[in-house]
Amino acid sequence: MYSFSYHRPASVAEASDLIANAADGKLVAGGQTLLPTMKHRLASPSDVIDLGAIAELGGIVVNGNIVTIGAMTSHAEVAASGEVQEAIPALAALAGNIGDPAVRNRGTIGGSIANNDPAADYPAAIIALGATVRTNRREIAGEDFFTGMFETALEEDEIIVAVDFPRPEAAAYMKFENPASRYAMVGVFVARTGGGARAAVTGATDCAHRAYRMEEALAKDFSPTALADFEAPVDRMNADIHASAEYRAHLVRVMAQRAVAACA
């Protein structure tokens, strides 16, 4: 790892000043993605700004039909939260299946979505549930947030503060996980909401995305059989040593059907 200056601000305002004034600053949350990247010298920031001491970025609050999760909330905290388990059990289950217990103790929702790994789990939930990402500057609709492989709508030095999830009528997430890393080879999140059926797919393509055709099929009939003929576009699927494009396309349908069945 190359050397850098370390900062541990106590507020978002202070963090925002530090990152703005750094030559090539990086925020660090749980460090579960950034530190391995720095160890491999694939990133070499001049300044590392640790968000770990900022109390206002933590915590889970339920207000009516909105579940707000602070950016620095760990995967383990979301998984174990009674409030999340009650309001959106699929989200608690998703968080409880990220990586392994030690990764879940450090990794955060803000870090996961800012990183936007094509195989990350949270992006599928944020898009399918119609969540809103709140930053120190503005609000960004979940489905506009993930713009490409490791790319997001975040501007330079913008800090995620929290994510607001509206409570669905029912929701479920199914992932076919890579047995070594637990990342999603394909993950599908479906939700029945006041605004209709919603679905999002992760792991299959370069970036998590909303699955409009799947939603159309589910709008008519929210059942696994409604997706019996669903075909994901093979030419857009990722292909690697873990799975071919054809196999991933097949997994999209199977995971979607299982998720819909789990909503019943």
Ligand X SMILES: Cc1cc2nc3c(=O)[nH]c(=O)nc-3n(C[C@H](O)[C@H](O)[C@H](O)COP(=O)(O)OP(=O)(O)OC[C@H]3O[C@@H](n4cnc5c(N)ncnc54)[C@H](O)[C@@H]3O)c2cc1C
CB of 182 to other proteins, least distance (A): 7
Residues 6+ apart with CB under 8 A from 33: 107, 111, 112, 115, 117
230 contact choice in other proteins, ligand X, none (CB below 5 to 8 Å, kind-dependent):
none
Choose, by CB under 6 A, the member of 78, 114, 171, 256 that binds ligand X: 114
Scanning the chain, the segments in alpha helix (DSSP H) are 12-21, 34-39, 75-80, 82-87, 89-95, 101-106, 109-115, 122-128, 142-145, 212-220, 245-263
Least Cα distance to 6 among 57, 62, 47 occurs for: 47
Exposure class string for 5-37: b at 16+ Cβ within 10 A, else e: eebebeebeebbebbeebeebbbbbbbbbbeee
Q: Which is nearer to ligand X, 189 or 226 (CB)?
A: 189
102 contact choice in ligand X, other proteins, none (CB below 5 to 8 Å, kind-dependent):
other proteins
Residue 210 to residues 61, 162, 185, 199, 207: CA-CA distances in angstroms? Answer: 26, 21, 17, 6, 10
Q: Which is nearer to other proteins, 48 or 226 (CB)?
A: 48
Q: Which is nearer to ligand X, 181 or 225 (CB)?
A: 181
Note whether 52 binds ligand X by CB under 6 A.
no
CB of 26 to ligand X, least distance (A): 5
Q: Which is nearer to ligand X, 65 or 147 (CB)?
A: 147
Measured CA to CA, the distance from residue 157 to residue 171 in angstroms comes to: 33
- Tokens coding 187: 């993950």
Note whether 22 binds ligand X by CB under 6 A.
no
Q: Which is nearer to ligand X, 53 or 103 (CB)?
A: 103
Residues 6+ apart with CB under 8 A from 90: 125, 168, 171, 172, 173, 189, 191, 262
Segment near ligand X (CB under 6 A); pick from 21-29, 76-84, 214-222, 250-258: 21-29
Site for other proteins in 37-96 (CB under 8 A): 38-40, 48, 50, 52, 76
Segment near ligand X (CB under 6 A); pick from 85-93, 117-125, 191-199, 228-236: 117-125
Instruction: Determine the residue type at 220.
Output: K
Note whether 170 binds other proteins by CB under 8 A.
no
Binding site for other proteins (CB under 8 A): 1-6, 8, 31-32, 35-36, 38-40, 48, 50, 52, 76, 99-103, 105-106, 180-182
Binding site for ligand X (CB under 6 A): 26-34, 51, 71, 98-99, 103, 106-108, 110-112, 114-115, 117, 120-122, 159-160, 181-183
